A and B are shown apart, each in its own frame.
Chain A
Amino acid sequence: MRIGILGLQGAVREHRLSLQACGLLPENIITVKKPGELDDLQGLVIPGGESTTLGLLMTKYGFLEPIREKARQGMGILGTCAGMVLLAGKINGHRQPTLGLLEMEIVRNGFGRQIESFETELFLPDIDTHPGGTKPFPAVFIRAPYGINPGPRVQVLAALGEKIVLARQGKLLACAFHPELTADYRLHRYFLSLIAESHDE
Chain B
Amino acid sequence: MMEKATDRVKRGLAEMLKGGVIMDVTTPEQAKIAEKAGAVAVMALERVPADIRAEGGVARMSDPEIILAIMDAVTIPVMAKVRIGHFAEAQILEALGVDYIDESEVLTPADHKYHIDKKQFKVPFVCGARDLGEALRRINEGAAMIRTKGEAGTGDVAEAVRHMRIINEEIEWIRRLPKEKLQQEAEEMRVPVRLLEEVRELGRLPVVNFAAGGIATPADAALMMQLGCDGIFVGSGIFKSSNPEARACAIVEATAHYNDPAVLARVSRGLGEAMPGISIHQLQANDRMAERGW
Partner of B18, one of A9, A114, A116: A9
Partner of B124, one of A8, A114, A120, A178: A114
Whether A120 contacts B2 in the complex (CB less than 8 A), given A13-B18, A140-B8, A143-B99, comes out as: yes
Q: What chain B residues lie within 8 Å of A108 (beta carbons)?
A: 75
Contact, CB under 8 Å: B19 / A33:
no
Contact, CB under 8 Å: B99 / A33:
no
Measured between alpha carbons, how far is A62 from B97 in the docked complex, in Å? Answer: 36
Measured between alpha carbons, how far is A60 from B256 in the docked complex, in Å? Answer: 12
Contact, CB under 8 Å: A140 / B9:
yes
Considering the complex, give the chain A residue whose CB is closest to the CB of B41: A50
Measured between alpha carbons, how far is A116 from B122 in the docked complex, in Å? Answer: 9
Whether A50 contacts B2 in the complex (CB less than 8 A), given A113-B99, A114-B77, A143-B77, comes out as: no
Measured between alpha carbons, how far is A120 from B122 in the docked complex, in Å? Answer: 16
Whether A57 contacts B16 in the complex (CB less than 8 A), given A50-B41, A115-B123, A119-B3, comes out as: no
Q: What chain A residues lie within 8 Å of B13 (beta carbons)?
A: 114, 117, 142-143
Check B279 for interface membership: any CB of A closer than 8 A. Answer: no
Measured between alpha carbons, how far is A33 from B257 in the docked complex, in Å? Answer: 8
Contact, CB under 8 Å: A121 / B1:
yes
Measured between alpha carbons, how far is A33 from B17 in the docked complex, in Å? Answer: 17
Contact, CB under 8 Å: A109 / B97:
no
Task: List which A147-201 residues lie within 8 A (CB) of chain B.
Answer: 178, 181-182
Check B39 for interface membership: any CB of A closer than 8 A. Answer: yes
B29 to chain A, nearest CB (A): 17
Whether A142 contacts B16 in the complex (CB less than 8 A), given A53-B40, A115-B123, comes out as: yes
Measured between alpha carbons, how far is A178 from B99 in the docked complex, in Å? Answer: 18
Considering the complex, give the chain B residue whose CB is closest to the CB of A93: B75
A196 to chain B, nearest CB (A): 28
Interface mask (A43-57 → B, CB under 8 Å = 1, otherwise 0): 000001110110011
Contact, CB under 8 Å: B4 / A117:
yes
Contact, CB under 8 Å: B8 / A81:
no
Contact, CB under 8 Å: A8 / B19:
yes
Interface mask (B153-172 → A, CB under 8 Å = 1, otherwise 0): 00000000000000000000
Whether A49 contacts B20 in the complex (CB less than 8 A), given A11-B15, A94-B75, comes out as: yes
Q: What chain B residues lie within 8 Å of A50 (beta carbons)?
A: 16-17, 20, 40-41, 76-77
Partner of B8, one of A12, A57, A94, A119: A119
Whether A14 contacts B15 in the complex (CB less than 8 A), given A114-B124, A118-B2, comes out as: yes
Check A89 for interface membership: any CB of B closer than 8 A. Answer: no
Interface mask (B1-28 → A, CB under 8 Å = 1, otherwise 0): 1111110110011011111100000000
Considering the complex, give the chain A residue whose CB is closest to the CB of B15: A11
Check B117 for interface membership: any CB of A closer than 8 A. Answer: no
Measured between alpha carbons, how far is A134 from B204 in the docked complex, in Å? Answer: 36
Partner of A33, one of B12, B16, B38, B260: B260
Q: What chain A residues lie within 8 Å of B252 (beta carbons)?
A: 53, 57
B218 to chain A, nearest CB (A): 14
Measured between alpha carbons, how far is A155 from B73 in the docked complex, in Å? Answer: 35
Whether A49 contacts B97 in the complex (CB less than 8 A), given A114-B77, A115-B123, comes out as: no
Measured between alpha carbons, how far is A82 from B16 in the docked complex, in Å? Answer: 9
Considering the complex, give the chain B residue whose CB is closest to the CB of A178: B12
Measured between alpha carbons, how far is A60 from B40 in the docked complex, in Å? Answer: 16
Check B100 for interface membership: any CB of A closer than 8 A. Answer: yes
Contact, CB under 8 Å: A10 / B3:
no
Whether A118 contacts B19 in the complex (CB less than 8 A), given A49-B40, A53-B38, A57-B256, comes out as: no
Partner of B12, one of A12, A13, A56, A117: A117
A144 to chain B, nearest CB (A): 10
CB pairs A–B below 8 angstroms (20 shown): A8-B256, A10-B18, A10-B20, A13-B18, A33-B256, A33-B257, A49-B18, A50-B41, A53-B252, A60-B253, A94-B75, A113-B99, A114-B13, A114-B77, A116-B4, A120-B1, A140-B8, A143-B16, A143-B77, A182-B8
7 tightest Cβ-Cβ pairs between the two chains A and B:
A114-B99, A9-B19, A50-B40, A56-B38, A117-B9, A53-B38, A118-B4
